[in-house]
Amino acid sequence: MSTEEVAKKVVELTNKQAWYEALDTLYADDVVSVEAYSMGGGSPETHGKEGVRGKIDWWVNGMEVHSFDAHGPFVGHDRFVVQYDADVSDKKTNERRKLSEVGVYTVKDGKIVREEFLPRVD
């Protein structure tokens, strides 16, 4: 798949909250996933597809998703960006909050090899 095709698939599957389908079909085995902040003092980087699967498990088990909207994609060469707006509640604390962030993705040989998540700071 071209970068644009991968990008459009990410938007389509994210809007369906089909996280595992996205992982299984679009990600390289040695993908690196980078958060802006690390949880619990660990590294903000997760290495490998199974590590990303763990992040999805954490998300699905921990969050009640009221809405999750993907905007874009924006595409150039081997890079694409998707902008996300979400409204979620933490299942443990019931704390509800809105998230706004972008994902910056790098594609190689038709698969996502790197993703970085950048929260909105304004």
Point out which residues bind its own copies (CB under 8 A).
4, 7-8, 11, 34-36, 44, 72-77, 79-81, 83, 100-102, 104, 116-122
Helix (H) / strand (E) containing 46: strand 45-47
8 Å CB contact between 80 and 111: no
Least distance to its own copies, CB of residue 94, Å: 27
Q: Is the separation of the CB atoms in 14 and 22 below 8 Å?
A: yes
Considering beta carbons, is residue 23 or 82 the nearer one to its own copies?
82
CB of 16 to its own copies, least distance (A): 16
- Residue closer to its own copies (CB basis): 27 or 80: 80
The minimum distance between CB 37 and its own copies, in angstroms, equals: 8
SS3 string, 56-95, reads HHHHHHHEEEEEEEEEEEEEECCEEEEEEEEEEEECCCCC
Q: Which is nearer to its own copies, 63 or 81 (CB)?
A: 81
